[in-house]
A and B are shown apart, each in its own frame.
Chain A
């Protein structure tokens, strides 16, 4: 997939004195995300962006380039579970170069080192938390940008745009700080960091419409082959493809317009028990 530059977009230019474009929903989401990324860059140092190579984090890198005039002025982190699809590694290497990214690689501990009381898929997912925590500690990051969205999962729907993580990277979900009028939390203690969520208000379909509008590249796994495609990309062993014939971005959008299933339906851990997601997230999972 290559990027196609926008040649023209609807411009309601009628008088000699140029008028601003009337913003549509994607314009508003984009403007808000740029605002958030600029706040993070200004307030949280050192800062990095989690690049999982999936569609959401590609949109996020894209938005960072929008915010900083084509640059990504902080490192992007890939916390590798070493269980990703080969296509994803190829994609990573290609776009690290093309987008001129400062890539930091992190690795995850073996699953044996993870809390055995978790159900199997969740335990596998928790490896990523441990790998992420090690990276954050090593680089002493004060800000970590992550591409989660409220519509993905009910506990993510409770998140803040700037979400403080205290000692041990824990999310104190019962005691989140107030966040209003675009005023965000800043770190108030040593050893804590802020998770920054620029895509929190985006829905799955917004992401796809934005990908289409901007021509953002994606790994091919998102597009149907032999009647199946991936709607969400986790590790190979805990992500299942869904039935689909959508082989282009436009077809994916058309499919989602009528879809009634959730994006994470293909993620095994979400179905293991009612509280598993909350437990993982409190402990530092995305």
Chain B
């Protein structure tokens, strides 16, 4: 076969993969409507589909609701809001696209990311009348973090501004400024109406002043994905098989090419092996494979790499990945509770998994003006730059838009994906900083529950001295043991006799006492234990800190015995001593007690003690029994 023939038949039969385009923007700015309209105007709907939409709209008392083409779930149609993203194939001329409809409501951000993460380009839909809103900014930030390189802005509902040039140009400049701050280049800003079809597939008659592309023209201009073939070779090992006596190292090539005869380094250990064969089943035999292919390699010597080991060129230092146990990352945070320093996760990086701890939160994004601020926590659905510390060196390539490199994902102990962490690079240690690399338990939470027979939790009893915290806590501990629940009591006086014997009763020392108790409680709870803390803990601020240290498993219980009763009981004679001035800074007498505003449980003093014990026991049982 001559070269010419090959090339010719290649271009004739070659169909490129579909280009994914995601439609994002604030809730109700018209994303789903836009896609519905786009499909209709480009004649992409199957027969009968329009009739179904008309019928579903009529049933709900609506005129044709284009969004119903995407919003297929009952809840979506009834509430008029997109909950989950949808992907639909779409053809323009000879080019295939996949259009992804993403939800705009903040509550469904995880679904927006699910839809957007592999897109080649994005259409940011902005209501021309409302302008950029909170989710416009959040989505724009995400586009940048997940590395979408081509952004088209669609100023939707321009019909509501009668396509007035002056008004539209003003919104346009706002949006351009916003995206400029994120260093996102805008391909086009299209004034349009999804409802009426202006500038979607055909040029608007109402905006003759507008000379830019229609949406369809802008989409057609999106360049195909960049080639990853010329970069140094990377293949994360996905699995190792042995079939018919042959060992296969299986994986998908992230970038570069591999040939029989290549010498590859394997993972952080850096053992070297030579590729004997590039294996495929029922495919043309080729001694070479390129980026994107799922293949299997035979190696010599016949080593058995681990899943997650990165394969890369052995003899070229310049082609080696980064190696560091401390990594700076950008973060988009998807958990319902804030992220704090010291939390541990599994960092998934392609097929590798590494235990990591958040060593520092270096900057938090202020969503109002998209600037970086100092902060000690990352709010739900927030963005930040953080440093992760692993217990060993991690091999990685820094994140780069459009490539598979450095796409870290954080997973918690419940196996939930809680954040995306594009890796920026190795983190330098500041002068004088002592590098700590904490490790976290690898026991899955579910197994812990299984072996223990119950969940864990921290029950924090606060109340005046003599209010009965220790008595109630110890009695509940006993009652729980009868139900085969392992509980530990961290009692104020007991702690002060040992762990905290260096502490006094100044506000600083009380604060430190609580901090230590909270950390011990956290460690115990993470090992599956039920923990009952009985500490005066008089200040709201200190209890809040304890809650933050412990995390989601913290339950505040107020032992609400009034001062007079405590003082009357005075089992240890402390009130008497305090009144006579023998004990300084005694809570309730000479130091303040701030009662909790909304404790999860309140144990009232006007009831018999046994009732308080029963109430607490039942409360704990309810929360820890599976």
Q: Which residues of A contact B (CB under 8 A)?
A: 5-6, 8-14, 17-32, 34-35, 38-39, 41-42, 65-71, 73, 150-151, 154-155, 157-158, 160, 173-174, 176-183, 185-190, 201, 203, 214, 260-262, 265, 274-275, 278
Contacts and interface: CB of A to CB of B under 8 A. Distances in A.
A180 B288 contact: no
Contact of B282 (A5, A14, A73): A5
Nearest to A19: B288
Contacts of A11: 6, 284, 286
Contacts of B110: 177-178
B259 interface: yes
Contact of A188 (B17, B281, B416): B416
A18 B73 contact: no
15 contacts: A5-B282, A6-B284, A22-B14, A42-B307, A65-B281, A69-B248, A73-B241, A158-B86, A176-B84, A177-B110, A178-B111, A180-B409, A185-B417, A261-B47, A274-B55
B446 A189 contact: yes
Interface residues of B, number: 86
B47 A23 contact: no
Contact of A21 (B9, B59, B88, B290): B290
A9 B13 CA distance: 11
Interface string B396-425: 000000001001010100111100100000
A89 to B, nearest CB: 26
A275 B74 contact: yes
B238 A42 contact: yes
Contacts of B250: 38, 67
Contacts of A278: 72-74
Given A28-B292, A178-B113, A214-B282, A10 B10 contact: yes
The binding surface of chain A is classed by DSSP as loop
B409 A177 contact: no
Given A22-B14, A260-B46, A262-B46, A70 B243 contact: yes
Contacts of A17: 259
A35 B252 contact: yes
B14 A176 contact: no
Given A10-B9, A31-B252, A183-B417, A24 B16 contact: yes
B90 to A, nearest CB: 11
Contacts of A174: 73, 75, 83-84
A34 B243 CA distance: 17
Given A10-B6, A180-B114, A201 B87 contact: yes
Interface of B: 3, 6-7, 9-10, 13-18, 46-49, 52, 55-56, 59, 70, 72-75, 83-89, 96, 98, 110-111, 113-114, 116-118, 146, 229, 238-239, 241, 243-244, 246, 248, 250, 252, 257, 259, 279-284, 286-294, 296, 307, 334, 348, 350, 404, 407, 409, 411, 414-417, 420, 444-446, 450
Contact of A190 (B116, B284, B407, B446): B446
Nearest to B258: A20
Contacts of B348: 183
Contact of B87 (A14, A31, A66, A157): A157
Contacts, number: 202
A26 to B, nearest CB: 8
Given A39-B238, A68-B243, A154-B72, A20 B7 contact: no
B88 A150 contact: yes
B292 A66 contact: no
Q: Which 7 A-B pairs have the closest CB atoms?
A: A20-B290, A154-B72, A180-B117, A178-B110, A34-B294, A188-B415, A28-B17
Given A154-B86, A173-B84, A176-B84, A69 B281 contact: yes
A68 B238 CA distance: 12
A46 B171 CA distance: 55
A182 B416 CA distance: 14
Contacts of B14: 10, 22, 24
B276 to A, nearest CB: 15
Contacts of A275: 74
Contact of A178 (B96, B114, B445): B114
